[in-house]
Chains A and B, each alone.
Chain A
Amino acid sequence: MNAGEALLEVQNLRVAIGESQILGGVSFRVREGGITGLLGRNGVGKTTTLRGILGLVPRTGSVTLAGEELTTLAVHDVVRRGVGYVPEDRDVFGGLTVEENLRLAERAGSEHRYDLVYELFPELRERGAQRAGTLSGGQQQMVALARALLNASNRILLIDEPTKGLSPLVVKRVADALERAASVTTILLVEQNLAVARHLVRDVVVLDQGAVVFTGDVAALIDDPALARRYLGLSAVASGH
């Protein structure tokens, strides 16, 4: 597949949880290479979209990766096809050590990725024997990102709000790591910090009330105050600039 072609294609993705329709038919494409942002106000269905792509929630519609349909596969098979996931709450295994968390994510070729992981997050090497549950939020985020990066067969990473709740210093490090990660894989990033999104993201997909309301260049959205206010909210625009 050439750079710029659609690597991931989501068509009419619908997710209902109980009586609530969370996604009402989401469709978008993610180009191969770089970072595509999935933006929107709180509660519009960004996390559910990522979980729906992976199959962590019951869904209908179509999700294809390089033309291969994913919705018929179990979650672990979707991941084995090359879809990595970094969840919003990091979901590190708190009772396991850092080293064990990383070992779980190992696949063929991971030995080469350890160099990248330890270059980005050297403290993970130092804290290998420490239980992940005792790490700070920022360090747990590093473990979560490292697990996704270790799988060299991942063709796209779904990363959900990696800077949420982190100090500005750690946000900068995570943003740098994402930028570096984007040089080896495609990323679909949910990010509420618009400054980070503006810096990292190339294309954006904006959700509102469970549907796509905008797709295009990130600058066209964030640099247009009226558009940004309409889709992302006033406070978000204020904090992002």
Chain B
Amino acid sequence: MSTIVLLLVTGLGLGALYFLVASGLSLIWGLMRVLNFAQGAFFTVAGYAGFFAAEALPGTSPWLRWCAGVLAGMLTGGAFAILTEVLLIRPLYRRPVGQVLVTVGLALATLALVEGAFGSDPRQVTLPDWMSATTTIFGAAIPNTRFVVILAALLVLLGLLFFLQRTRYGLIVRAGVENRAMVSALGIDVQRAFTLVFAIGGTAAGLAGVLGAAYYGTIDPSRGTSMLISAFIVVVIGGLGSIGGSALAAVLVGLLQQFLNFYAAAGVGDFAVVLLLAVVLLVRPGGLIGRAPE
């Protein structure tokens, strides 16, 4: 029982991280039809920004340092995303291949820069005592970071749903996902919505970067790339453009990986996720919650 509880909560925590990266990918694709391969770079850079922000406040409360790291990570992720959209993506609208190439190039360049600047070895992050401790539930000693990550993802999910359902910009994004040209034809500057969506995606990825460091206990330059791959799988399984679909798929993928990697063999969970992706693409090409591609 304790193993199942541990795997369940750890799987949910992993799914929460996937969701944080995937939600931005999904929003960006849904509105802009841009496959943003730089989302992993936002995750990585924000993780390091959070790490150094916390390190820059020695002698202060551990919670204050960690919160400063979270804030720095989110701001860095958001700012990086805005710069990417304005400087690299905007000149390439109507050129999807160019957009893919430029985001792939940015991801590779960022990885190389971070490795060059900080080395490729993982760095240990310092956490408040409570986050480094465990809580026992049904006999399972669960690292408290799992609860923090899950709670943060839930808050982001609720925040995104509120934004999409209750705000004018959310309405514009939902309409833009359906028919971008018609939104413009109603006199709405879709470009602003593009930048906003990129900023939201980058901020969520930035939060994931700092929370990922807490989840794994370390930061390293390459985790953003593996996170991006998982997030892409989540987005496709959930349905491109669907936040609810991303949340559902992230939970499925996280749990599948944890349970099969433990009960079958290491790596079986990852294989099963790819298999699930193939099945979803064959049976429901639009994803679990999403429209079939035109």
| Min CB gap A74→B, angstroms | 7
Is A104 touching B183 in the complex (CB atoms < 8 A)? Answer: yes
Q: Interface readout for A71-96 with B: 1 if CB under 8 Å, 0 if not? A: 00011100110000101000101111
With contacts A87-B182, A93-B182 known, is A151 near B175, CB below 8 A? no
Residue B189 is within 8 A (CB to CB) of chain A in the complex: yes
Is B178 touching A104 in the complex (CB atoms < 8 A)? Answer: no
Residue A105 is within 8 A (CB to CB) of chain B in the complex: yes
With contacts A93-B178, A93-B179 known, is A100 near B171, CB below 8 A? yes
Within 8 A of B (CB), among A150-208: 151
Is B181 touching A56 in the complex (CB atoms < 8 A)? Answer: yes
Is B185 touching A103 in the complex (CB atoms < 8 A)? Answer: no
Which residue from B187, B189, B191 sits with its C-beta under 8 Å from A151?
Answer: B187
Is B175 touching A96 in the complex (CB atoms < 8 A)? Answer: yes
| Min CB gap B93→A, angstroms | 12
Q: Interface readout for A45-80 with B: 1 if CB under 8 Å, 0 if not? A: 000000000101000000000000000001110011
Residue B283 is within 8 A (CB to CB) of chain A in the complex: no
Is B188 touching A76 in the complex (CB atoms < 8 A)? Answer: yes
| Min CB gap A18→B, angstroms | 14
Within 8 A of A (CB), among B172-196: 172, 174-175, 177-179, 181-191
Report the separation of the CA atoms of residues A171 and B48 in the bound assembly, to the nearest whole angstrom: 63
Is A96 touching B189 in the complex (CB atoms < 8 A)? Answer: no
Interface size class of B (residues with CB under 8 A): 10 to 19
Is A104 touching B186 in the complex (CB atoms < 8 A)? Answer: yes
Which residues of chain B have C-beta atoms less than 8 A from A105's C-beta?
186-187
Report the separation of the CA atoms of residues A100 and B184 in the bound assembly, to the nearest whole angstrom: 16
Interface size class of A (residues with CB under 8 A): 20 to 34
Q: Interface readout for A99-111 with B: 1 if CB under 8 Å, 0 if not? A: 0100111010000
Which residues of chain A have C-beta atoms less than 8 A from B186's C-beta?
76, 79, 104-105, 147, 151
Report the separation of the CA atoms of residues A127 and B106 in the bound assembly, to the nearest whole angstrom: 47
Which residue from B171, B177, B181, B189 sits with its C-beta under 8 Å from A104?
Answer: B171
Report the separation of the CA atoms of residues A100 and B165 in the bound assembly, to the nearest whole angstrom: 10
Is B175 touching A76 in the complex (CB atoms < 8 A)? Answer: no
Closest CB pairs A-B (n = 8): A79-B187, A75-B184, A91-B182, A85-B185, A93-B175, A76-B184, A80-B187, A93-B178
Name 17 interchain pairs, CB-CB below 8 A, sorted by A: A56-B181, A76-B186, A76-B187, A76-B189, A79-B185, A79-B186, A91-B179, A91-B185, A93-B174, A93-B178, A93-B182, A96-B171, A96-B174, A104-B183, A104-B186, A107-B187, A151-B187
Seen from chain B, the residues whose Cβ lies within 8 Å of a Cβ on chain A are 168, 171-172, 174-175, 177-179, 181-191
Sample of 17 more A-B contacts, CB < 8 Å, known A74-B189, A76-B187, A103-B168: A54-B185, A74-B191, A76-B184, A76-B186, A76-B188, A76-B190, A79-B184, A79-B186, A80-B187, A87-B182, A91-B182, A93-B174, A93-B178, A95-B177, A104-B183, A104-B186, A107-B187
